[in-house]
Structure 1
Amino acid sequence: MEFKRVVIIGAGAVGSYVIWGLSRKNHIDFSVVATGERKKRLETDGLNINDKLYRPAVMTPEQAHGADLVIVAVKYNALPAAVPDIREITDEHTVVLSLMNGVDSEEIIAAAIGEEHIVPALIKVASERRQNRIIFDPETTLGIVYGEKDGRSTERTDALKKLFEGTGLHYRETNVILPEIWSKFRLNVGKNLPQAMLGVGVGAYEDSAHVAAIREGLVRELDAIASAKGIDMSLADSSANRGSKVQKWARYSTLQDLDAKRHTEIDMFSGALIRMGRELGIATPYNEFTFHMIKALEEKNDGCFDYR
C-alpha cells in the first residue's frame, strides 16, 4: 500500500503543520479540500506558514473523490459541516486520519463512512495564528502519533510511515493509540481551559497554586471517566504526558480562540466530559463550571452583554 493521492481538510493551525511537511514530499498528489469563498481565498492568497508563502493545490470534495488518504484537521465545531465532504471523498480504499483534539472525532466520522476506513491518530503542535500567519517551531513540535486500535502494525501504518519520511514532520506509530489519545485529551483539558478562563499564559500553572488546583480538579474528573471506560493512560508513551515546549507567556488554542473572538472547542472538552459523566454516573462539577464559564465568555465576545 502507498498513499499517492493525499488530501487535507482544514488549513488552520494544525493543518498548516501538515501542509508545511507534506509540501516537501515529492511524488505525491497533495491538495487542500475547500469550497466557495474559502477555496477562492486559498487559491488567491495561499498560506503564510513560518513566514513562507505556500500555495497548495485546492480541490473540491468532488474533485478529491477516491483519494488514498484524507487528513482531517478542522476545529471540532466545524466537523459536522466537514462530514459530508469526507463522505464524498471516501471510496472503498480510502483511509482517514483525524488529527483533531478530543476523544470522539473518529466516532463521528465513522458513523458516516464506517470505522474500517479510520486509523486513529492525534497531533501535538503548539501553533499560533498571528493575523494571517501561522507560526510553530518544527524542532520542538512532538507531531503526529497514529496506530491501529488492536495495536498491530499494518499496511496502512507502514504507508503512513513512508508518507511522513523525509518531510520534517515528527511522527511515531504506537500500539496503544486509545490511551495516547486520552492522554493528549487530558493535557488539553488541564492546560487549555484554566488559562482560557483567566486570560493568562501557561506559566500560571507553575506560579499559582490556585490555577493548579483548578487544573487538578478538571483532570481528576477526566481520570475517573477514563478509568470507568477502561482506558489505561499509564500504557501511553512517556511523551504523552507533555506537550510541545512553549514559553511561559504561551496561549493555547482555547485562549487563542477567545482572544480572536472566535467560538472555542469547549463542547469537545468539558462538554464531552459532562456528557460521558452523566452516562457513567460520575459527577463533573469542575468541568460543568468551566463549560458554562467559557460559553459565557463566548457570549461576551459576541456582544450579548453590551448593554450600552
Structure 2
Amino acid sequence: MEIKTVAVLGAGAVGSYIIWGLDKKVKLGVIGEGERAKRLQKGCLINDQMYYPEVWSPTEAHGVDLLIVSLKYCALKDVLKSIQTIVDDHTIVMSLMNGVDSEEIIGEAIGKEHLMPSLIKIASRKENGYRFDPETTIGIVFGELQAPYQSKRVQAIESLFENTGIHFRASEYIQEEIWSKFRLNVCNNLPQAILGAGVGCYRDSEHMKFIQGGLRHELETIAHAKGIDLSKADSSSSRGSAVPASARYSTLQDLDAKRHSEIDMFSGALIKMGKELHIPTPYNEYTYHMIKALEEKNDGLFDYDQENQRNMCSK
C-alpha cells in the first residue's frame, strides 16, 4: 500500500502543518468550492512562505488515498456530504480535529473502516498567515484500535510522513492518547479562555489550579466509566511543546477574534456523556455556559450602551 494522493479539508492551523510538510512529497490538494476556492487559489502563507497546493472540489478529490479532516468542530456536520463524495473504497480518513467524537460522526457517514484514529499536537497561531515552530511541534499521533498495530495502513502513513519535517509516531494506545489530548484541551484551554490570560495563570494562581482540577476530575471520572485507562497514554502524552507563559490556546484565540469557539466539542460533549452515565459535571456545565455567554458578548448581545443611545435618539 502506498499513499500517492492526499486531500486536506480545512486549511487553517492544522491544515497548514500538513501543507507545509507534504507540499513536495505527494500530489496534494485542499478542498474548496466557490469563494473559498478562490481564496485558496491565492495561496497559503505558512511561516512567511507562500504555498500553492492544488484546489479541488469534493468531486475532483474523489478517490484520493488519504483524506485529512482538519476543520473547526462547528463546520463538520455541514461537510459530511463532501466527505462522502471524496471517499472511495480504499480511502483512508484521518480526523485531526479536537475532541473525542469527530471520528464517530464521520464514521457514521462513510463507515468506520475508513478511519485511522489520530490526533495532532501543535502550537500554532494566526499571525500574517499561520505560524508554528517545526522543531518543538509534537506532531501527529495515529494508530489502529486493535492488532495488528503495524498494519499496512499504519506503515503507509509512516512512509508518507518520513523525511517531510512532519513529526509523527504510531501508538498502540491511540484511543487513550486521543482522550489524553482531550483532557489537555478541557483543563488547559478552557479556564484561561474565561480569564482571558496566558497559560502562566495555571502556574501563578491557586484559584486557576482549583478550577483546572475540578474539570480534570470530571473528565477522568467519565473516562474511567467508559473503560478508558488514561495512564496508558501518560508517559507519551506528557511530552508537550514548549510554550511561553503568555501563550493563548485555541479557545481564547477564538474569543479574542470574536469567533465562536469549539466549546460544544469540549465541555458540551462531556456534559452529554455525564448525563448518559449519571455522572455530575458542574465544573464543565459552568465553563460551558460562561464561554457561551462570552460568545454572546462578542456577538453584541450585551451592547446596552448602544441600545441606550438608540433610545435617546428616538426620543
Same fold (TM over 0.5): yes
Residue pair 2:117, 2:174 contacting (<8 A) in 1 also: yes
**TM-score, structure 1 length as denominator?**
0.97
| Distance in 1 (alpha carbons) for counterparts of 2:217 and 2:11 | 33
Residue pair 1:50, 1:133 contacting (<8 A) in 2 also: yes
Q: What corresponds to 2:111 in structure 1?
A: 114
Q: What corresponds to 1:36 in structure 2?
A: 34
| Distance in 2 (alpha carbons) for counterparts of 1:214 and 1:63 | 48
Specify the structure having the higher radius of gyration (Cα): 2
Residue pair 1:6, 1:30 contacting (<8 A) in 2 also: yes
Q: What corresponds to 1:149 in structure 2?
A: 145
> What's the offset of the Cα at 1:24?
3.3
Residue pair 2:180, 2:234 contacting (<8 A) in 1 also: no
Residue pair 2:258, 2:299 contacting (<8 A) in 1 also: yes
> What's the offset of the Cα at 1:237?
5.2
The structure 2 residue matched to 1:92, chosen from 89, 94, 106, is 89
* Deviation digits for residues 7-42 of structure 1 (CA, Å, limit 9, x no counterpart): 0100001111111111131xx211101111111011
Residue pair 1:157, 1:173 contacting (<8 A) in 2 also: yes
Residue pair 1:187, 1:241 contacting (<8 A) in 2 also: no
Q: What corresponds to 2:131 in structure 1?
A: 135
Across the two proteins, how many residue pairs are aligned to each other? 304
Residue pair 2:32, 2:55 contacting (<8 A) in 1 also: yes
Structure 1 spans left out of the alignment, 5+ residues: none
> How does 1:1-308 map onto structure 2 within 5 Å?
1-25=1-25, 28-44=26-42, 46-130=43-127, 132-151=128-147, 152-236=149-233, 238-307=235-304, 308=306
Which stretch shifts more, 35-44 or 168-177?
A: 35-44
> What's the offset of the Cα at 1:176?
0.7
* Deviation digits for residues 186-212 of structure 1 (CA, Å, limit 9, x no counterpart): 001011000000110000000101011
| Distance in 1 (alpha carbons) for counterparts of 2:250 and 2:239 | 16
* Deviation digits for residues 122-176 of structure 1 (CA, Å, limit 9, x no counterpart): 000000012x411110100000000001142111000000000010000000001
Q: Secondary structure at the match of 1:144?
A: strand
| Distance in 2 (alpha carbons) for counterparts of 1:125 and 1:185 | 14
Q: Which amino acid aligns with 2:15?
A: G
> What's the offset of the Cα at 1:239?
3.1
Residue pair 1:187, 1:242 contacting (<8 A) in 2 also: no
| Distance in 1 (alpha carbons) for counterparts of 2:258 and 2:239 | 28
**Identity, % of aligned pairs?**
62
Q: Secondary structure at the match of 1:53?
A: strand
Q: Which amino acid aligns with 1:14?
A: V
| Distance in 2 (alpha carbons) for counterparts of 1:18 and 1:233 | 27
Structure 2 spans left out of the alignment, 5+ residues: 307-315
Residue pair 1:61, 1:88 contacting (<8 A) in 2 also: yes
Q: Which amino acid aligns with 1:42?
A: L
Inter-CA distance 237–283: structure 2 relative to 1 (3 Å threshold): closer
| Distance in 1 (alpha carbons) for counterparts of 2:64 and 2:189 | 34
Which stretch shifts more, 16-25 or 56-65?
A: 16-25
Q: Which amino acid aligns with 1:115?
A: K
| Distance in 2 (alpha carbons) for counterparts of 1:55 and 1:6 | 14
Q: CA RMSD in A?
A: 0.9
Q: Secondary structure at the match of 2:76?
A: helix
